[in-house]
Copies of this chain bind each other. A is one copy, B any other.
Amino acid sequence: MSEVYATRRRRLREQCQASGSAAALISRPANVRYLAGTAPRGAVLLLGKADDVLLCAGPPDDRLAEGRPDDLLRVQTLPGTAGDPAVAAADLAEAGRADTLAVEEHHLTVARHRAIRSVVPRLRLTDLGGVVEQLRVVKDEEEISCLRIGAEIADQALGELLESILVGRTERHLALELERRLVDHGADGPAFPTSVATGPNAGRRGHRPTDRRVEEGDFLSVCLGAAYRGYRCEIGRTFVIGTSPADWQIELYDLVFAAQRAGRENLVPGAACRDVDRAARQVLDSAGHAEGLPPLTGHGVGLEIDEDPLLAPAAMGKLDACVPVTVEPGVHLPGRGGVRIDDTLVVRPEADGGPELLTITTKELLAL
C-alpha cells in the first residue's frame, strides 16, 4: 500500500511544480489521509522540494488516528505545546530552500495563514485550490473495494432492521440500532449521522431522528452508511408500515423510483453531471414537484461523504469511469411525509456492464 500513497504524492508534486510551486502544504484532513495514509488530529503534510513530512501535533497516544502513514513518509511529532504544525511545516519548507509554498486556502484559516506569513515572510504563499480534491474524484480499485465492503455492511444492517418489529419504536432508537449493527458487521463507524424519519418526517433529506414513534400507515425513510477503512458509502430506502400502502403512497413511491432509475441510467462515463441531475429531476418536476426539491440529486463519495462531483442543476464537469456517486432524489410533502431512494453506484463503461450498484437492498416498496 505504501506505493499507492507515494504515487499520489508524486502526481500532486508534478502538478504543483507545473504551476510553479516548489512545495505544498496539505491541511484538510481527508486530503492528508489520501496522500499520507493517515490523518492524526491536527496533522499536516508537507510536500517539500526533497522529501515529504507528516507533521503531527502532540504525543501520539493523545491523537490517535485511523490508518498508518506509509513507509516512504517521514513522520515528525511536535510537542503538544509547539503550536501549529502548519507553521512548523512552512518553516521546514523554507529551510528546504523552497521559495513558494502552495496552501489550501479553502481550508486554512485567515489566522493560520497570517501566522505562517509572519514566521516565514520571504516564502511566497500561493493557493493550491482543490487540486487534491480533484485527484480524489476517480478512485482506484482498492478504494472502490473499501466502498463495496462498506455498502455490504450497510445493506446487512438495514436488512436486519427490517426483520425486527418497528411499530412503537422511536426514530432515535432505530437510528442507534442501525449504527450498532454497522459496527457489529465491521464498520469503523457510521459514515454520517444515521437518519430515520417516520410519518410526516419521512423523505426529508438529512432529517435528524426525533422521539417520534413509528405508527401504522407511516412512511419510514432511512438513510445510513458505513465507514470502512475511511471510505464512506450511503444507502437510503423508504418503506410503508402496515399491511398495505395507501394509493398516494404507491403513487409517490413509483414517481421517486422512476426519478431515481432515470438518474442511475444516465451514469455513463462522459455524461455531464447536470444531465444526470436533470434526468432524475425532470421526472419529479413534470409531476408537479418542482418546488421544494433538494438542490442536488446526488454527489460523490469517498473519504468524505460529500465529495465532488455534485449532481445538481448548475454543476460543471463530466463523469469519469471509476467515480462513485450517490443517486438520491426524493420528494417531501409537508405534513404528510415523503419518499427518498438513495444508492451508491460506481460509474463504469457500458462495455463493463454499466454502472456498478454497490447498495443492493431491494427498491421494491416493502410494507413492513
Interface 1/0s, chain A 183-226, versus B by CB < 8 A? 11000000000000000000011111000000000000000000
Q: Which residue of B lies closest to A79 (CB)?
A: B295
Report B-chain residues with C-beta under 8 Å of the C-beta of A66.
208
29 A-B pairs (CB sep. < 8 Å): A59-B292, A59-B295, A61-B204, A61-B207, A62-B204, A62-B295, A63-B206, A64-B207, A66-B208, A79-B295, A80-B294, A81-B312, A81-B313, A81-B314, A103-B110, A105-B114, A106-B110, A108-B109, A108-B110, A109-B109, A109-B110, A110-B110, A110-B113, A110-B127, A172-B183, A173-B183, A176-B179, A176-B180, A176-B183
Q: Which residue of B lies closest to A61 (CB)?
A: B204
Dominant secondary structure of chain A at its interface with chain B:
loop
Across chains A and B, which 9 residue pairs bring their CB atoms closest together, nearest first? Answer: A80-B295, A105-B110, A106-B111, A105-B111, A61-B204, A110-B113, A176-B180, A62-B205, A64-B208
Interface centre among A62, A79, A204, A205 (most CB of B within 10 A): A62
Q: A180-B176, A295-B79 are in contact. Are A61 and B205 (CB under 8 A)?
A: yes
- Docked Cα-Cα span, A62 to B295, in Å, equals 9
- Docked Cα-Cα span, A66 to B206, in Å, equals 12
- Docked Cα-Cα span, A111 to B108, in Å, equals 8
- Docked Cα-Cα span, A173 to B179, in Å, equals 11
Report B-chain residues with C-beta under 8 Å of the C-beta of A114.
105
- Docked Cα-Cα span, A275 to B70, in Å, equals 41
Q: What band does the interface of chain A fall in when counting residues whose beta carbon is under 8 Å from B?
A: 35 or more
A107 to chain B, nearest CB (A): 6
Interface 1/0s, chain A 323-365, versus B by CB < 8 A? 0000000001000000000000000000000000000000000
- Docked Cα-Cα span, A62 to B299, in Å, equals 14
Interface 1/0s, chain A 259-297, versus B by CB < 8 A? 000000000000000000000000000000000101110
A194 to chain B, nearest CB (A): 11
- Docked Cα-Cα span, A344 to B110, in Å, equals 33
Report B-chain residues with C-beta under 8 Å of the C-beta of A150.
none
A180 to chain B, nearest CB (A): 5
Q: Which residue of B lies closest to A80 (CB)?
A: B295
State whether the Cβ of A230 lies closer than 8 Å to any Cβ in chain B.
no
State whether the Cβ of A58 lies closer than 8 Å to any Cβ in chain B.
yes
Report B-chain residues with C-beta under 8 Å of the C-beta of A61.
204-207, 292, 332
- Docked Cα-Cα span, A107 to B58, in Å, equals 21
Report B-chain residues with C-beta under 8 Å of the C-beta of A314.
81
- Docked Cα-Cα span, A79 to B109, in Å, equals 25
Report B-chain residues with C-beta under 8 Å of the C-beta of A106.
109-111
Report B-chain residues with C-beta under 8 Å of the C-beta of A110.
103, 105-106, 108-110, 113, 127
- Docked Cα-Cα span, A205 to B59, in Å, equals 10
- Docked Cα-Cα span, A67 to B256, in Å, equals 31
Q: Which residue of B lies closest to A63 (CB)?
A: B206
